[in-house]
Amino acid sequence: MKSIRKDNRRKPPSRDNKRSQHGPKRDEFVANASNIVIDMKHFKADDEDVERLDASRFGPDQTGVAIMELTEADRHVVGHSISVAPLAILIVGKRFGPNDEPFTMLARTVSGLPIIIHAALRQFGDRNIDFKAAVPVSQVDTAASTVIELHILRKEVGAWKECNVPLHYLGVHISAVRGSSLIATWSMKTWSEDRKPVPFMEAAYWHGFIRVPDEILDQVLVRSGHAGIYVSPKDGSKRHDERFAAIAMPDLNLMEIQKKAAMRGINLPSDAVGSIRPASVPVCYLNLHL
């Protein structure tokens, strides 16, 4: 049992973890003055366009934005204006000075792929140069939603064939998600006990993520542990959603938790009980914002 629990405690496969074990991230891109293309239409000096200035020409009475890394930018003394025209250094890279104020800005790789980089502006002219992203801007209504990590364990499912379509199985056992209630699903895959991707019929469990609107979140969480379905709310950083406290109650089943809470006078919401994987023990999901 101990070994099973130990196995169950392991996190599902994560690419980031693998990368951290085997060196730096593959897609880690460190911007420098030569490997990015910056559209100068993002830079304005009092609503006037600003030209790019070659770093070698940066100096007194020049105008424009010179792109440099911190080491090169530090060679130019900050603090006083050296040009009546707009003049600034755009520092790119991973390091910035203590007085720099890095911001995220838009750029492209030399191959044309759009990227977001961190940069900081150092002013050297009488007129300041500002970054204003010249891209289509939209503001849309949002619906509060939560990402839920989903496991469906084969050994707790009556007929594994019923899980052929996991969303159908989910809808059968969690009525709140029926129809088009789900906002999105991704990475729904079948895995073996030793955490390798395998065909459905050889799989030990389904693993994936669903995004549900917060209106039905409690209804989904409370069904965790039923019919082999285990759910766990996640925040934007892929960690456990701090809005919910998962309190492990290993010696009790779901009904017993509710009874015990009632006996002790704890005002436990009836929908605040579920079961969480990986512990596979009854837990109490307490919505801390209730």
Partner 1 sequence: MLPESAFVASEGVGADDTIWVLKNMPLEVGKDGLQSALLQSGWDAVPIRAQGPNRWLVAAKQEPESKHFCINGSYVLVEPIKRQRENHAVTIKAKQVKVDTTITATPGAMQVATSTRIQEVKAEISDHMEMKMQAANQRIEQLSCALERLQAEPCRQETEVKGEFTAIKNEQAFARQKIGEVEASVVQSGQTVIQTMQQMMTNLEANMKQWMVKNDSCDAKRQRAEETPRNDSFSIKS
Helix (H) / strand (E) containing 119: strand 114-123
Asked if residue 139 binds partner 1 (CB under 8 A), the reply is yes
Question: Which of 29, 192, 219 has its CA nearest to residue 115?
Answer: 29
Kindly tell me which of 184 and 288 has the beta carbon lying closer to partner 1.
184
Among 1, 77, 144, 263, binds partner 1 (CB under 8 A): 144
Asked if residue 188 binds partner 1 (CB under 8 A), the reply is no
Kindly tell me which of 39 and 74 has the beta carbon lying closer to partner 1.
39
Asked if residue 181 binds partner 1 (CB under 8 A), the reply is yes
Positive/negative CA dihedral, 29, 31, 36, 41: positive
Residue 121, C-beta contacts closer than 8 angstroms, at least 6 positions apart:
65, 88, 89, 90, 91, 101, 129, 130, 131
Kindly tell me which of 83 and 232 has the beta carbon lying closer to partner 1.
232
**Minimum separation from the CB atom of position 188 to partner 1 (A):** 11
Give the per-residue contact string, 57-76, with partner 1 (x = CB under 8 A; - = no). --------------------
Residue 250, C-beta contacts closer than 8 angstroms, at least 6 positions apart:
279, 281, 282
**Minimum separation from the CB atom of position 275 to partner 1 (A):** 20
Asked if residue 172 binds partner 1 (CB under 8 A), the reply is yes
Asked if residue 158 binds partner 1 (CB under 8 A), the reply is no
> Residue 27 carries which DSSP code?
T
Kindly tell me which of 76 and 108 has the beta carbon lying closer to partner 1.
108
Residue 42, C-beta contacts closer than 8 angstroms, at least 6 positions apart:
105, 106, 131, 132, 133, 134
Q: Where on the chain is the footprint of partner 1 (CB under 8 A)?
A: 104, 106, 108, 112-116, 133, 135-145, 147, 165, 167-168, 170-172, 174-175, 177-187, 209, 211, 213, 234, 236, 238
